[in-house]
Chain A
Amino acid sequence: METKQRRRVSAALRTFLKNKGAVIGTILLLACIGTAVFAPLIAPYDPLDVVGTSRQAPAPRYLLGTDLLGRDVFSRIIFGARISLTIGLISVAIGLSVGTSMGLPSGYYGGWIDSVIMRLIDTMLALPGILLALVVIAALGPSLANVMIAVGISSIPLYARLVRGSCLSIRELDYVQAAKVIGSSDARIMLRHILPNLVGPVIVLSTLQVGSAILVGAALSYLGMGAQPPTPEWGLMTADGRAYLTRAWWMSTFPGLAIFLVVMTLNMVGDGLRTALDPRMKIA
């Protein structure tokens, strides 16, 4: 890395580390990732095994109680971390790859390419939030894999707009103009000059989007459109406990709490990254 870039990165790192929220968030996030990775070692029981009687209250033996079938809620939540994080990561991967490949030519070339791509983006944005994902599920059918595709598709427009916007401003800069003048190919300019400047905003958006994807994915499963039983997905578990809010409150409360905590840590880290990389950055 060139010295100027290295200095920028270390300056950003220092700002990030001074932010208490960001640091706490990072530690919690690492704990969450660790839980997902080492789930078989941490969980006391198999998430699919019936280990106790139905709807037992939290006790030393079953830390967060058992669910309707007598499975250990704590173990299911631990393994559920894997599913939620996978939903987040794959959706972001889809959104990032497709969104960038749409936003780059749109912002760089402008003209009719930009118009066409922007109309496509606007169409996707016409169905806000969970709606676009619902439409994809309606077409593909309810399943965990389709949830990842659906949520991925609904994050494409955010990346496309971000990349396009950055592209529009960067392409006017002197050194990009200079590169064009000396005859660099468009692809080379996009890859070597424009793309590196996008890394910051894209990292911030991705961190926040993983949280958003987890929320939408859990909501889809809650509605019966996503993960199917007996998968220990947090949204599905919350839905299962819905009929027992008074008699077995732990069935819904803890999976929902897990979602809340993971998304909150992602938001804390994302906010910290945004402040560190550029406080004036507009993400969405």
Chain B
Amino acid sequence: MTRYIGQRLSALLPVLLLVSTVVFTIMHVVPGDPVQLMLAGAEAGSVTPERMAELRKSMGLDQPLYIQYGRFLFNALRGDFGMSIRFQSPVSELVFKAATYTLQLSVAGLLLALIIGLTLGIIAALCENTWLDTICMVLALFAVSMPLFWLGQLLIMFASIRLQWLPAISGDQPKGIILPALTLGATAAGLISRLTRSTLSEVLRDDYIRTARAKGLEERAVVIGHALKNALIPVVTVVGLQFGGMLSGAVVTETVFSRPGLGTLVVKAILWKDYPLVQGTVLFMGVSYVLVNLLVDLVYAWLDPRIHYG
């Protein structure tokens, strides 16, 4: 097991390095002078060549590219991603604050996705080839085909405005997270329900299940005690991938519901051309995703020893 962990970690490092390289390159691929962008809002006359040179020097932009890259990496390892052009405050502060909101939303979304997805999938598998199965799978199809922003707006229209059940703008009340979480988790719920249905219905046909039934075990004990445990192993890996789905979906969901978070932050940063902020946010999201996947892989290897002995 330790060897497996070591293998996975050593594969991780080059990837993280490459991700940071890609992120660093954004700022230097973009046409236009970052210093000019920074001073774009200043009054005419205050933008002198001397001031631009000074700013350039303070940002380290007068150094050769490889030195800039080295400094970027060194600072990134210390958690220093520079200053946001727009907010004039450390990027790391902004990113960590936004991350807590996105984490809340992602956990809520994933939880809802698991509850809804597992329920639909189990019902579909237990009632295989009946109309109930068809309904569940059609719902799952809807869920994976729906654009998140459209679903979010529909939920706002009905649950919030027409029926007045739930608030649209989250604020700090716990109720405010329900609609965004539902929107965010919808696609994942669809995927989880399809996966659960297919693995569970396969497992239910296995010999050891027939044995358990022949032994006279109650159907409920058979399903929960034996079938479900084994059917859920693939679902665990999907959960890791779905965290990435949460990060990706948060970009749109947070915008629709006007929630603060990494999604809103990265979109605004790109639109404002605030490149230090773009770099910091993207790097943070990429690294978190890679680490979460590693964690999930390790959990999976622990659950199914065949993986790391193979």
Residues of chain A whose beta carbon lies under 8 Å from any beta carbon of chain B = 119-120, 122-123, 126-131, 134-135, 137-139, 141-142, 211, 215, 218-219, 222-225, 235, 238-239, 242, 245-246, 249, 252-253, 256-257, 259-260, 263-264, 267-268, 271
Contacts and interface: CB of A to CB of B under 8 A. Distances in A.
A219 B147 contact: yes
23 contacts: A119-B14, A123-B18, A126-B16, A128-B241, A128-B244, A134-B266, A135-B22, A138-B275, A218-B147, A223-B251, A224-B271, A235-B147, A238-B149, A238-B150, A245-B156, A246-B157, A249-B157, A253-B150, A253-B153, A253-B157, A256-B153, A260-B150, A263-B145
A35 B153 CA distance: 26
Contact of A130 (B154, B248, B275): B248
Q: Which 5 A-B pairs have the closest CB atoms?
A: A129-B248, A256-B150, A128-B244, A264-B145, A123-B18
B37 to A, nearest CB: 13
B147 A127 contact: no
A244 B188 CA distance: 29
B150 A259 contact: yes
Interface stretch (B83-91, B278-286, B299-307): B278-286
A139 B251 CA distance: 18
Contacts of A239: 149
Interface in B155-205: 156-157, 161
Contacts of B77: none
Interface centre among A130, A141, A246, A268 (most CB of B within 10 A): A130
A264 B141 contact: yes
Contacts of A130: 248-249, 251-252
Contacts of B18: 119-120, 122-123
Given A135-B282, A245-B153, A238 B147 contact: yes
Nearest to A123: B18
B149 A131 contact: no
B147 A259 contact: yes
Nearest to A128: B244
A204 B108 CA distance: 32
Contacts of B252: 130, 219, 222-223
A40 to B, nearest CB: 26
A128 B248 contact: yes
Contacts of A139: 25-26, 29-30
A256 B26 contact: no
A252 B22 contact: no
A245 B150 CA distance: 11
B144 interface: yes
Given A235-B147, A253-B150, A256-B147, 4 more contacts: A215-B147, A218-B147, A223-B267, A264-B142
Contacts of B142: 260, 264
Interface string B259-295: 0000000110011000100100010011101100000
A64 B148 CA distance: 22
B122 interface: no
B231 to A, nearest CB: 17
B39 interface: no
Contacts of A135: 22-23, 26, 278, 282
Contacts of B29: 139
